[in-house]
């Protein structure tokens, strides 16, 4: 009997072909749009988080205790080279870099601003986070007086490639010291803190300038394979200040949460549309065939078989719509992942908020699984009202009505 | 086989427009009988047929099918009785449009849980008897009215019900097809020993049934 009911449900689903196709197209198009929007929202968040990780803290950063509060060189990690060798031995540690930072005043002949100067090892930064990808303008070259400057800081000081600057800060002996620099490149990391405050010079020069030893660092940034490694690092170096990415950048977590809320709202709206679409087509379809159901009940077909048939009809429509939507959505997401959405026209506003002007999409399996579950549920919920209509149906009324 | 005792049925009961559709009906129909309910329009023949077919409830009295009282059953029990004991032929054929003739004929048997083999064999047997065995893979809308009504009869007969109830089965047929249908029903009645009850005012049917029950104003006036 079940085979016959499946056949009846399948054939009845396409009895009014244009009506059913319209609903399937509606589901497919709205679902693919939703997947695209989800991919873009997540892509925005993921890109920002990824760039922040690569340019800043990594998955975990280690500081000397007291450094993050005081930002004073006396709170530096003195045996950073030994420590980094020890950290590298831990399974799950992928990459690490040592950085020396000092906060001070960066001045041109006419303007000055607070800045955070970072001594970096270019090769290590490249391996750690593809540092060269952040190049906006100029050439990455830290030789001689060479320095790299964050985009927003460069705008604030009105400097360009070749501009001369002086950075002044307190060195490790407590004396005020200055260094003359020449801008070789402007960097855009989309990490707001770096773009608005950072200037990068060679780590060796930074050590000489600050009077610190090359084995010392103010920060050890680490890329890890998983959260377990992060926990292990925290446990192994409890005498130091070990912080995860989200602890250091709680705004990123908030941004992720905001994106989840946006995605949920979009998801809810689209699923409501899908639900109403299937409900509409099922209700009209049942009304069209009310006589058929009445007669079927009249000759002895039990309500439970009709219920299965109607549920299957809704599932067929929902599932085919889902397949179409998944296919279109996957194509849309692949395009967004590979080529992105070019919003260069709004680059100033986007960069101000730390976003790249071309937003690339993300693809997650969960987009397809949650949508599948939601469409199947929407399909099943949509038959409640039509089924109530049939349940209340008295076969004799139908039989009398046809006479 | 079927026994009705003091059966009463009202429409719009308690309202000013109340209609007393069946009045103290007492009737016996034996196994294998071919009976016609006859009478003018609105006399209650369809109401009586629906009451016997467990399609409609009654307000008082009893209806027995093989000594089982069916007049007071709930909707689910009535559905089961209709499925297992009765076959229906309606004026408008009422075939399932998306199923082939073969599937339509076997539909009631499937609902009753017969095996594929039993269904196939019985469908062929009934289709041959009704001369529609060459149309088994056709969809109903590709058949003429007469052929569709034969499929409806085949569907009613296939499950070997105790009784077949047919309400105005020839109303949509021309005289040739009406005659053919009537001849087939007579043959089925004879071969399968199925009790058949028609509600109709077709003269040809009246001339060809063994028993005519005439109703007027909800009462049996002649048996």
- Please answer yes or no on whether B110 and A4 come within 8 Å at the CB atom: yes
- Please answer yes or no on whether A4 and B99 come within 8 Å at the CB atom: yes
Residue ranges for chain B with pLDDT beneath 50: none
Quick one: pLDDT band at residue A150, thresholds 50, 70, 90? very high
Lowest mean pLDDT among A48-52, A348-352, B163-167: A348-352
Interface of B with A in 123-142 (CB under 8 A): none
Round to whole Å and give the CA distance between A70 and A67: 5
Round to whole Å and give the CA distance between B147 and B181: 10
The reported pLDDT for the residue numbered A352 is: 67
Q: Which of residues A195, A214, A239 is at a domain's end? A: A239
Q: Which of residues A182, A214, A239 is at a domain's end? A: A239
Round to whole Å and give the CA distance between B36 and B174: 19
A129 pLDDT exceeds 70? yes
Task: Give me the residue from A299, A305, A402 closest to B88, CB to CB.
Answer: A299
Size of interface A-B (CB pairs under 8 A): 74
Residue A319 lies in a domain: yes
Q: Which domains does chain B have, with CATH numbers?
A: 2-222 (3.40.50.300)
Angle at which helices A303-338 and A290-298 pack, to 10 degrees? 140
Would you list the DSSP string of chain B? -EEEEEEEEEESTTSTT-EEEEEEEEEEE-TT-EEEEE-STTSSHHHHHHHHTTSS--SEEEEEETTEE-TT--HHHHHHHHHHHEEEE-TT----TTS-HHHHHHHHHHHTT--HHHHHHHHHHHHHHTT-GGGTTS-GGGS-HHHHHHHHHHHHHHT--SEEEEESTTTTS-HHHHHHHHHHHHHHHHHH--EEEEE---HHHHHH-SEEEEEETTEEEE-
Would you list the DSSP string of A178-228? EEEEEEEEEE--S-HHHHHHEEEEEHHHHHHHHT--TT-BSEEEEEESSHH
Q: Which helix (H) or strand (E) holds A147?
A: strand A146-150
A297 touching chain B per CB within 8 A: yes
The reported pLDDT for the residue numbered A42 is: 87
Whether A127 and A275 map to the same domain: the answer is no
Distance from CA of B112 to the nearest CA of A (A): 9
Q: Which of residues A239, A273, A297 is at a domain's end? A: A239
Round to whole Å and give the CA distance between A244 and A231: 9
Whether A261 and A363 map to the same domain: the answer is yes
Scanning every residue of chain A, which has its alpha carbon at the shortest distance from the alpha carbon of B99? A8
A398 pLDDT exceeds 60? yes
**Chain A residues within 8 A of B111 when measuring between CB atoms:** 1, 300-302, 305
Q: For residue range A62-110, what is the model confidence (pLDDT) as tens digits?
A: 999 999 988 888 899 999 999 999 999 999 999 999 999 999 999 999 9
Rounded to 10 degrees, the C-alpha dihedral A28/A30/A31/A35 comes to: 130
Does the predicted TM-score (pTM) go above 0.80?
A: no
The reported pLDDT for the residue numbered A402 is: 61
Q: Could you tell me the two tokens for A231?
A: 């926990």
B85 touching chain A per CB within 8 A: no
A17 touching chain B per CB within 8 A: no
A14 touching chain B per CB within 8 A: no
The reported pLDDT for the residue numbered A21 is: 92
Whether A218 and A279 map to the same domain: the answer is no
Give the residue-averaged pLDDT of A135-140: 93
Provide the 8-state DSSP code for A58.
B
Whether A9 and A103 map to the same domain: the answer is no
Residue A245 lies in a domain: no
The reported pLDDT for the residue numbered A326 is: 95
Residue A317 falls in which region: left (phi positive, over 0), alpha (psi -120 to 50) or beta? alpha
Residue A393 lies in a domain: yes
Q: For residue range A288-338, what is the model confidence (pLDDT) as tens digits?
A: 888 888 888 888 888 899 999 999 999 999 999 999 999 999 999 999 999
Whether A258 and A231 map to the same domain: the answer is no
Residue A59 lies in a domain: no
Residue A378 lies in a domain: yes
> Mean pLDDT across chain A, nearest whole number?
90
Q: Could you tell me the two tokens for A35?
A: 């997947």
**Chain A residues within 8 A of B82 when measuring between CB atoms:** 298-300
Scanning every residue of chain A, which has its alpha carbon at the shortest distance from the alpha carbon of B81? A300
Provide the 8-state DSSP code for A77.
B
Whether A205 and A257 map to the same domain: the answer is no
Provide the 8-state DSSP code for A73.
G
Whether A32 and A111 map to the same domain: the answer is no
Sign of the CA dihedral running B87, B93, B99, B103: positive
Whether A284 and A186 map to the same domain: the answer is no
Q: Where do we find the tokens 């009631």?
A: B108
Whether A180 and A106 map to the same domain: the answer is yes
- Please answer yes or no on whether A296 and B96 come within 8 Å at the CB atom: yes
**Helix, strand, or coil (residue A392):** coil
Angle at which helices B116-129 and B101-111 pack, to 10 degrees? 130
- Please answer yes or no on whether A297 and B113 come within 8 Å at the CB atom: no
Q: For residue range A204-231, what is the model confidence (pLDDT) as tens digits?
A: 999 999 999 999 999 999 999 998 999 9
Distance from CA of B191 to the nearest CA of A (A): 23
B78 touching chain A per CB within 8 A: no
Round to whole Å and give the CA distance between A360 and A41: 9
Whether A342 and A309 map to the same domain: the answer is yes
Q: Which domain holds residue A141?
A: 65-239
Round to whole Å and give the CA distance between A165 and A145: 10
Q: For residue range A244-261, what is the model confidence (pLDDT) as tens digits?
A: 998 888 888 888 888 889
Distance from CA of B2 to the nearest CA of A (A): 19
Q: Could you tell me the two tokens for A333?
A: 């997401």
**Chain A residues within 8 A of B112 when measuring between CB atoms:** 300
Residue A248 lies in a domain: no
The reported pLDDT for the residue numbered A4 is: 87
Whether A36 and A80 map to the same domain: the answer is no
Residue A246 lies in a domain: no
- Please answer yes or no on whether A402 and B92 come within 8 Å at the CB atom: yes
Whether A266 and A314 map to the same domain: the answer is yes
- Please answer yes or no on whether A7 and B99 come within 8 Å at the CB atom: yes
- Please answer yes or no on whether A403 and B108 come within 8 Å at the CB atom: no
Scanning every residue of chain A, which has its alpha carbon at the shortest distance from the alpha carbon of B119? A1
Tally of domains within chain A: 2
Q: For residue range A353-367, what is the model confidence (pLDDT) as tens digits?
A: 667 778 888 899 999
Round to whole Å and give the CA distance between B86 and B108: 10
Scanning every residue of chain B, which has its alpha carbon at the shortest distance from the alpha carbon of A302? B79
B97 touching chain A per CB within 8 A: yes
- Please answer yes or no on whether A292 and B80 come within 8 Å at the CB atom: no
């Amino acid at each position: 009997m079940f085979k016959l009911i499946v056949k009846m449900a399948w054939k009845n689903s396409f009895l009014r072909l244009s009506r059913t196709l319209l609903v399937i197209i509606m589901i497919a198009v709205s679902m693919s749009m939703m997947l695209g929007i989800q991919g873009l929202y997540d892509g925005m968040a993921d890109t920002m988080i990824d760039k922040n990780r690569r340019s800043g803290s990594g998955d975990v950063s280690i500081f000397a205790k007291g450094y993050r509060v005081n930002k004073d060189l006396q709170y530096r990690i003195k045996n950073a080279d030994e420590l980094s060798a020890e950290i590298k031995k831990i399974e799950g540690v992928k990459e690490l870099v040592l950085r020396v930072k000092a906060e001070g005043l960066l001045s041109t002949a006419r303007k000055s601003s607070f800045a955070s100067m970072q001594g970096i090892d270019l090769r290590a930064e490249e391996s750690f986070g593809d540092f060269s990808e952040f190049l906006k303008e100029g050439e990455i070259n830290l030789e001689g007086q060479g320095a790299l400057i964050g985009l927003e800081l460069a705008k604030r000081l009105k400097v360009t490639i070749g501009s001369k600057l002086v950075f002044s800060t307190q060195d490790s002996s407590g004396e005020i010291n200055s260094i003359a620099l020449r801008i070789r490149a402007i960097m855009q990391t989309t990490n707001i803190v770096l773009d608005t405050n950072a200037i990068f010079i060679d780590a060796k020069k930074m050590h000489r300038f600050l009077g610190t030893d090359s084995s010392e660092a103010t920060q050890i940034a680490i890329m890890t394979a998983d959260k377990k490694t992060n926990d292990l690092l925290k446990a192994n170096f409890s005498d130091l200040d070990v912080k995860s990415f989200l602890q250091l950048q709680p705004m990123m977590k908030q941004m992720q949460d905001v994106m989840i809320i946006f995605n949920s709202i979009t998801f809810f709206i689209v699923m409501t549309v899908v639900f109403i679409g299937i409900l509409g087509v099922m209700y009209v379809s049942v009304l069209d065939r009310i006589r058929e159901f009445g007669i079927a009940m009249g000759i002895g077909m039990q309500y439970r078989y009709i219920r299965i048939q109607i549920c299957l009809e809704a599932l067929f429509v929902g599932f085919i719509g889902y397949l179409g939507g998944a296919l279109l959505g996957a194509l849309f997401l692949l395009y967004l992942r590979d080529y992105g959405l070019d919003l260069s026209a709004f680059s100033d506003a986007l960069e101000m908020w730390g976003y790249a002007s071309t937003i690339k999409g993300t693809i997650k399996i969960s987009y397809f699984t949650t949508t599948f579950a939601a469409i199947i549920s929407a399909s099943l919920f949509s038959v409640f009202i039509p089924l109530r209509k049939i349940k209340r149906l008295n076969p004799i009324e139908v039989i009398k009505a046809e006479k | 086989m079927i026994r009705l005792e003091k059966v009463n049925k009202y429409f719009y009961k308690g309202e000013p427009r109340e209609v007393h559709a069946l009045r103290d009906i007492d009737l016996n129909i034996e196994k294998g009988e071919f009976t016609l309910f006859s009478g003018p329009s609105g006399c209650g023949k369809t109401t009586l047929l629906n009451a016997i077919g467990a399609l409609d409830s009654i307000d008082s009295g009893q209806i027995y099918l093989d000594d089982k009282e069916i007049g007071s059953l709930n909707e689910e029990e009535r559905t089961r009785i209709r499925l297992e004991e009765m076959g229906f032929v309606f004026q408008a054929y009422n075939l399932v449009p998306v199923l082939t003739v073969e599937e339509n004929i076997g539909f009631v048997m499937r609902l009753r849980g017969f095996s594929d083999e039993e269904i196939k064999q019985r469908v062929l047997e009934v289709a041959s008897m009704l001369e529609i065995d060459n149309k088994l893979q056709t969809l109903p809308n590709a058949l003429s009215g007469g052929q569709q009504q034969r499929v409806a009869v085949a569907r009613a007969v296939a499950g070997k019900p105790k009784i077949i109830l047919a309400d105005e089965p020839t109303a949509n047929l021309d005289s040739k097809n009406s005659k053919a249908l009537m001849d087939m029903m007579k043959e089925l009645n004879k071969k399968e020993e199925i009790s058949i009850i028609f509600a109709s005012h077709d003269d040809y049917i009246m001339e060809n049934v063994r028993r005519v029950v005439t109703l007027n104003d909800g009462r049996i006036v002649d048996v």
